[in-house]
Amino acid sequence: MSNLNKSTTHTLSVYVANKPGVLARIAQLFSRRGFNIESLVVSPGIDGKFSRMTISCTGEAEGLDQIIKQLLKLIDVLHCIDHTYDQSVTKEMGLIKIEVNSSGRSEALQIAEHYGCKTVDLTPESMILQVVGNPEKIDAFEEMIAKFKIIELVRTGKVVMSRGSDIT
């Protein structure tokens, strides 16, 4: 029982025909089975008739198997691949707006530099830092920069791509 209740975060890549309602159908599958979608990235495929969705979600592993099968059953879904356990490239971008004036600015920039961030907006009282990397890196950056007051935080949610000849 305890094993069943263990939630893991899963990353699915779903390739869909770009038809009306497809996102709503997919979202329903998850919510009906008690899965929480943590992030969802939708973007057009190479051919505009198709879209790519990267979905991060939490729930029981056993339930996920059923969700993948149900996803595949949807008429507009071409394929669905679970990338949770493979070595695919995983990236996410975060924008963090911190409260900082001239006195703290150089320390903030130092931390930002360490994480390879870009400063994309600067005012006398604030700055927006852009960080790109795998989600853990963004978490770590968030933690470090939290010594400043974080005014706003926006993360894109992760996107994945398989390495080499494997398909995503």
Q: Does 76 contact other proteins by CB under 8 A?
A: yes
The residue behind tokens 């038809």 is 19
C-alpha closest to that of 126 among 155, 145, 149, 143: 149
CB of 32 to other proteins, least distance (A): 7
**Nearer CB in complex with other proteins: 65/152:** 65
Q: Does 82 contact other proteins by CB under 8 A?
A: no
CB of 82 to other proteins, least distance (A): 15
**Options 6, 8, 21, 87; binder of other proteins; rule CB under 8 A:** 21
CB of 36 to other proteins, least distance (A): 18
Span near other proteins by CB under 8 A; candidates 37-45, 69-77, 101-109, 121-129? 69-77
**Options 57, 70, 128, 133; binder of other proteins; rule CB under 8 A:** 70
Q: Does 33 contact other proteins by CB under 8 A?
A: no
Annotate the chain with DSSP letters as a single string.
-HHHH-EEEEEEEEEEE--TTHHHHHHHHHHHTTPEEEEEEEEE-SSTTEEEEEEEEEEEHHHHHHHHHHHHHSTTEEEEEE-TTS--EEEEEEEEEEE--HHHHHHHHHHHHHTT-EEEEE-SSEEEEEEEE-HHHHHHHHHHHTTSEEEEEEE---EEE--TT---
**Options 53, 74, 98, 131; binder of other proteins; rule CB under 8 A:** 74
CB of 78 to other proteins, least distance (A): 5
Kindly list the residues in this chain that would bind other proteins in the complex (CB under 8 A): 16-17, 20-21, 24-25, 28, 32, 49-50, 65-66, 69-70, 72-78
